Chain A
């Protein structure tokens, strides 16, 4: 009887330790994932094509505009190649994320939230500032988080200045 109880206790301790270890790993991963969107955005803004290329796969997809969320056409769909051209040309000079949350699934992570952006190009000054709500998907491959997919789920909402889009 005593042996049986001891066995149960040991099993419980091992299980608890395993759970704690997974929790610690999971928390560390989540903390890292929550910084990914801004870290990659910083690379985009500084035109660091090598860095952005290193965190995106050949089958990367970025769907601009929320038209797809109800059967319409997206504004534009970037492949890795076309997205990297935006990086090289420093198409964006502001990409500031807020309200970012993560949904963790082991080696797959989903982030969602919002960013404010400003582009340096375009004929219409009233469309250079915009806000976007998004869902992104990442996968951990060879110990590194790789950015697979961006889909705009609301927006972009355009404005003439940062203030005009900061609550959109």
Chain B
């Protein structure tokens, strides 16, 4: 066990985003400070940072309603699974395909989509990311406009650029009345 832990420790690379997240101060009564680390080979760490930057660019494009950007960024067979019910065999809250997701983009339904935890697990031309974001949808009912979600996403590098394939919520969505109530930090 000690040997395994030592091997793992040597293999672990904490990406900048995850490291910053770990350094954040948790809100009282909120989620605990993120403890997880990004496990990725050293030689893939730079590509991991590029994927996390791409993930943030997609969120920015979603908020500004940038359909042209998003059409290039997401795959034709894109899938977004909302709600964590699927993690224990229940039906998900909602599943978006590319067309459904693009309606959210063109409709500019998000006023905020901000990552507060991001980490990457790299496998060459396939990337798995996981983390947490805070969202704000003004058209939702009061009390459900601010929320946070923990997620796992998958990307593939095709034709020299990363493409967004899949989002699955692994915990949440959890709702609050304001940004502070759903944020990790003060």
Which of B41, B88, B132 has a CB less than 8 Å from the CB of A71? B132
Q: Contact mask B14-51 → A, CB, 8 Å, 1/0?
A: 00000000000000000111111001110010000000
- Residues of chain A within 8 A of B125, CB atoms compared: 139
A-B contact count (CB 8 A): 115
Question: Is the C-beta of B156 less than 8 angstroms from some C-beta in chain A?
Answer: yes
Known: A71-B31, A73-B36, A77-B8. A104 touches B77 (CB 8 A): yes
- Cβ–Cβ < 8 Å partners of A82 in chain B: 4, 7-8
When each residue 124-161 of chain B gets 1 if its CB lies under 8 Å from chain A and 0 otherwise, what string results?
Answer: 11101010100000000000000000101010100000
| In the complex, B63 has a CB within 8 A of chain A | no
Cβ contact of A68, chosen from B36, B84, B88, B126, cutoff 8 A: B36
Known pairs A103-B79, A105-B165, A108-B156; A70 contacts B150 (CB<8 A): yes
Q: Are B4 and A74 within 8 A (Cβ)?
A: no
Residue of A whose beta carbon sits closest to that of B155? A108
Cross-chain contact of A108 among B8, B84, B126 (Cβ < 8 A): B126
Q: A82-B4, A135-B152, A149-B123 are in contact. Are A59 and B41 (CB under 8 A)?
A: yes
B170 and A153 within 8 A (CB): yes
Cβ A59 vs Cβ B87 within 8 A? no
How many residues does chain B have at the interface if contact means C-beta atoms less than 8 Å apart?
Answer: 43
Beyond A70-B32, A72-B35, A103-B79, 15 additional pairs, beta carbon < 8 A: A59-B122, A59-B123, A61-B39, A61-B121, A69-B171, A72-B32, A79-B8, A103-B166, A105-B79, A105-B156, A106-B156, A108-B165, A112-B86, A151-B128, A153-B170
18 CB < 8 A contacts A-B: A61-B39, A71-B132, A71-B150, A72-B34, A72-B35, A73-B35, A81-B7, A82-B8, A105-B77, A105-B166, A108-B126, A108-B165, A114-B89, A137-B128, A139-B156, A151-B128, A153-B152, A154-B87
User: Which A residues are within 8 Å of any B CB, using their own CB?
Assistant: 57-59, 61, 63, 66-74, 77, 79, 81-82, 85, 99, 103-108, 110, 112, 114, 133, 135, 137, 139, 148-149, 151, 153-154
A-B interface, 7 closest residue pairs, ranked by CB to CB distance from nearest: A71-B34, A73-B35, A153-B87, A69-B170, A148-B123, A68-B36, A105-B165
